Amino acid sequence: MSRITYRDERGNAQIAEYYDTKAATAKLAAYEDMGIPAVDTSVLTGALYTYGEEPQVDMMIEEMSELTKALLKHRRAQYKGCQFNYDRECVKAVVEEMADVYIVLLQMIHLYDAQDLLDTYVRDKILRLNVWLFTDGKDEAEGETT
């Protein structure tokens, strides 16, 4: 069981609990299913073993950097009121870089044998985000998940 303590809109301490069961997993399915494409992981693990662990970690860093650059370029285009076609091209570039990051991220999950721990962290962080949204950002959660 995971538990998080937070303050409600009146300042009263509240505890949110969830059990790591099939029911809890089903409730989180909407978050986990956000249209992210399923991929053939055998191709990704093949690339990891073909190119090696260290080069693929470097590739992860490089792809995250390229996504950062594409996001900043898109933001700059929006602030400057650029033409629609240019803004649309910036969005396409962001999405392309997101795909690259996603592909290498899947390799990192395999490399670090991190699926179970990642699932736990994602669920806990989504629960904490839900608590923060519920409290309208007025109070941060008092405790970490246990």
Sequence-distant (≥ 6) Cβ neighbours of residue 29 within 8 angstroms: none
- Report yes or no on 35 lying in a domain: yes
- Report yes or no on 106 lying in a domain: yes
- Report yes or no on 145 lying in a domain: no
pLDDT at 146: 45
- Report yes or no on 113 lying in a domain: yes
Residues recorded for the chain = 146
Residues of the chain scoring pLDDT < 70? 1-35, 81-85, 137-146
pTM to 2 decimal places: 0.68
- Report yes or no on 93 lying in a domain: yes
What's the Cα-to-Cα distance from 112 to each of 39, 57, 115, rounded to whole Å?
A: 18, 11, 8
Among candidates 13, 8, 23, which has minimal Cα distance to 123? 23
The rounded distance, in Å, linking the Cα atoms of 133 and 126 is 10
- Report yes or no on 52 lying in a domain: yes
Sequence-distant (≥ 6) Cβ neighbours of residue 20 within 8 angstroms: 1, 2, 120, 123
Q: Which domain holds residue 124?
A: 2-134
Q: Domain tally for the chain?
A: 1
The Cβ of residue 52 has, within 10 Å, a number of other Cβ atoms equal to 11
- Report yes or no on 57 lying in a domain: yes
- Report yes or no on 99 lying in a domain: yes
pLDDT at 67: 97
